[in-house]
Structure 1
Amino acid sequence: MKRLPFWPTLFVLVCVAVMIALGIWQLQRATWKDGLLARYAAAETLPPIAFPAVPVPDEALVFRRAGGTCLEVVRWDARAGRSRKGEQGWRHIASCRTGGGEGPGMAVDYGWSRSSDAPKGEGLGGPVNGVIDFDRDRVFILVSETPAPGLEASEKPSPANIPNNHRGYAVQWFLFALVALVIYGIAVGRRKG
């Protein structure tokens, strides 16, 4: 019977243990994500609120229906996004003044178009109702139910658009561990004694 080489065997076993630990960690993340998505889904059914006047780190507000007032659009940003029909294009995000020049104001997704050019014309500003979403920087945006003139409605924020891939990642880590053991077993089996 062949003796296993100490250092290579130790190295492989440590790597396998790390891969199994990463798989277990991904399973824990999947459970956490399930809870987060359930809270997001519950937020969709809650009564509307006023859009937060100051930034809050409360993700419980995401996917809540809300309303606010955009007194004046002070800047436009175009970001890649989808329409409610699922077409690719540009979301038009307005930075709004909400009162007295104080505070951060409010970001409103006024709608979608194929062009990144800022919307023009009347009908921008005033009361806005929609759904709270967050952007890539985790800043709240109110996605307007009613698009501005010349725009189509942006895709409605939904927790259904947030993937929970953690179980798949866990399976990958467990398979990596199994493959490492199989490859090491084959390598040791072919080793000349």
Structure 2
Amino acid sequence: MGRVIGVWLLGLGGVAILLTLGIWQMQRLAWKEAILAEITARIAADPVALPVTPDPERDRYLPVALEGRIDPTFVRVLVSQKGIGAGYRIIAALETGAGRRVLVDRGVIPVAATMPAATADDLRVIGNLHWPDERDGFTPENDLAGNLWFARDVAALAAHLEAEPVLVIARELTPPEAAITPLPVGVGNIPNDHLSYAITWFSLAIVWLGMTVFLLWRIRRGLG
């Protein structure tokens, strides 16, 4: 009898812990979905004028509209798009009528495409402020000589292109630029794996309960 009680306690205790972890992940899922919904709504809001002193925390994803001349110097940042393949983000400085120079992620071109010349006309940009954190221990160093970058490091881009450390990721360009397709900011690259984690914990709880019942059956039959 003592062995049966011990198995029940171990079994039910393990199931309770696993169910608790699954419920916690479901709560985390609801929290993450609320954050993603808030970010999505912020991204799609009506654009405002570029703040005088944008703040990376306060103004992240802020929709802005600005107009100016694109500097012909640009940086290529390697990017991979799901279902499309590799391409280059094209980032350049835009000088506004007020004399400010800010970074604009104009969009993406295929790797094999020839970069078109920058328009001599004023370009109107509607997009979102962002300070991406794309560099980690596995990111290669930028190839400045070959004009090939592997991460959008706003501070490094600003120093290289002699602009403010402010990046606008375009979602609309007027007039449109030939061969460049805007790649707007979105929430697709923000991880949200809480549902899969919850399913894993709930599945383990079922397995644990099944193993407990099986062990009890063996004990009752005198096999364990």
> The TM-score by the shorter chain falls in which range?
0.5 to 0.7
What's the offset of the Cα at 1:48? 0.8
Map of 1:96 onto structure 2:
93
Of 122, 139, 150, 2:118 maps to 122
- The answer as to whether partners of 1:96 and 1:107 remain within 8 angstroms in 2 is yes
Could you tell me how far apart the structure 2 residues matched to 1:144 and 1:45 are?
10
Map of 1:145 onto structure 2:
172
1:66-113 C-alpha deviation (Å, 9 max, x unpaired): 436576466513232449xx63332414153768xxx9x644221222
Map of 2:205 onto structure 1:
177
Map of 2:34 onto structure 1:
35
What's the offset of the Cα at 1:161? 7.5
Q: Show the 5 A alignment for 1:1-193.
A: 3-4=3-4, 6=6, 10=10, 13=12, 15-52=14-51, 53-58=53-58, 61-62=60-61, 64-67=63-66, 72=71, 76-82=75-81, 87-94=84-91, 96=93, 106-115=102-111, 119=115, 121-123=117-119, 127-132=123-128, 134=130, 137=133, 141-146=168-173, 148-149=177-178, 151-159=179-187, 165-191=193-219, 192-193=223-224
Q: Unpaired segments of 5 or more residues in structure 1? A: none
After superposition, the CA RMSD in angstroms is 4.2
Deviates most, 1-10 or 114-123: 1-10
For normalisation by structure 1, the TM-score amounts to: 0.65
What's the offset of the Cα at 1:18? 3.5
What's the offset of the Cα at 1:159? 4.7
- The answer as to whether partners of 1:63 and 1:158 remain within 8 angstroms in 2 is no
SS in 1 for 2:46: coil
Could you tell me how far apart the structure 1 residues matched to 2:187 and 2:212 are?
42
- The answer as to whether partners of 1:72 and 1:125 remain within 8 angstroms in 2 is no
- The answer as to whether partners of 2:94 and 2:103 remain within 8 angstroms in 1 is no
SS in 1 for 2:30: helix
Could you tell me how far apart the structure 1 residues matched to 2:28 and 2:184 are?
26
Matched residue count: 184
Residues 106 and 28 of structure 1: CA distance in aligned 2, closer, same or farther (over 3 Å)? farther
1:8-63 C-alpha deviation (Å, 9 max, x unpaired): 963x555434422221222112221232233234324532123454442137x427
SS in 1 for 2:180: coil
Residues 24 and 127 of structure 1: CA distance in aligned 2, closer, same or farther (over 3 Å)? same
For normalisation by structure 2, the TM-score amounts to: 0.58
What's the offset of the Cα at 1:185? 2.5
Deviates most, 173-182 or 71-80: 71-80
Could you tell me how far apart the structure 1 residues matched to 2:172 and 2:65 are?
10
Q: Give me the identity figure in percent.
A: 24
Residues 56 and 69 of structure 1: CA distance in aligned 2, closer, same or farther (over 3 Å)? farther
